[in-house]
Amino acid sequence: MTTGVPATYRDEALAITARNVRFDWAGVPVQYIPGDAYATQFWNVMHLVLPEGERAMADVFARALPLVDDPRLHEEVVGFVGQEATHAGAHESFRRYLQAHDVDVAAHVSRIEYIVGQVFGDHGLTGRAGRFWLRERLGLYAAAEHFTAVVGEWLLDNEPFDRRGVDPTMLDLLRWHGAEELEHRNVAYDAFQYVDGSYARRVRTAFVAFAGLATLWFSTTARLYRDDPGRTRRWWPLAYLGSARTSMIPSLTFLAKQIPPYLHPRFHPSSMGDIGKAVRYLAQSPAARAAQS
């Protein structure tokens, strides 16, 4: 059993496992958030960034796995890697759907592949340098997973999506992914703590991860929005403010508020979010049920 974690987490009996899902994109509109081209492109970044980022994450945690002797955490890391690989495949399937409908994403994908390779590649490092770089990457991913878990719960709770009439298949993808992010909210953090646990590294990598994710996400959204034939002539920062105001995307203020809890010396991810909410959604997700049938 991992040490230094709240009793509420130690008493959880959940198993982190990859679920089969099946998304049928036939008939899904390219602008799946009605009347909001900017928000559509904001979430499209998931389909471009996450397949590359989550494959790199799976590789990093697979490399860390031999260093994790704790039976429960070892099992959770295996399940976590499986879930991230499934996420990558699901988002890539919609990326192919966009390409089939003449949405040019090739340049964006190439750019993201290059960035992910530079930031998260092992670069052939071995020995002391290799161990240092592995711990750095674990810290970066632990921080990134904190934000994905927070956004995951936001997606589950965001009723304005339903009122706006977001395409149900895409909404299921967003909420299924968000629910699994909330479900495995502690795994990357616990693996980092187990392998390294440096508070200084946790703080440093948190700021690097937040700045890097924000820069990559908003710059890619701006480029996609600029090339969207269905967009209005609004300057993208104004379009962002409009989408955030109507809760089609989370605001930067909301995301920034998630940094201080993560930096608290006694923080543990099990203190955040309602795990039951995630499990309930995963039990009724149309894509998960379609795969079972």
Give the chain's residues under pLDDT 50.
1-3, 7-8
- The per-residue pLDDT for 11 is 52
- The per-residue pLDDT for 283 is 93
Q: Residue 75: which region, alpha, beta or left (left: phi > 0; alpha: psi -120 to 50)?
A: alpha
- The per-residue pLDDT for 10 is 55
For residue 118, what are its two tokens?
Answer: 């530079």
For residue 255, what are its two tokens?
Answer: 């995301």
CA distance 60 to 134: 7
Give the relative orientation of helices 199-226 and 236-245 as an angle to the nearest 10 degrees: 110
- The per-residue pLDDT for 2 is 45
Closest by CA to 12, choosing from 78, 53, 73, is 73
- DSSP assignment string, 141-161: HHHHHHHHHHHHHHHHH-HHH
Q: What is the largest CA-CA distance in the chain?
A: 56
Q: What is the DSSP secondary structure assignment for residue 45, as one 8-state letter?
A: H
Query: pLDDT for 36-50, tens place per residue?
Result: 999 999 999 999 888
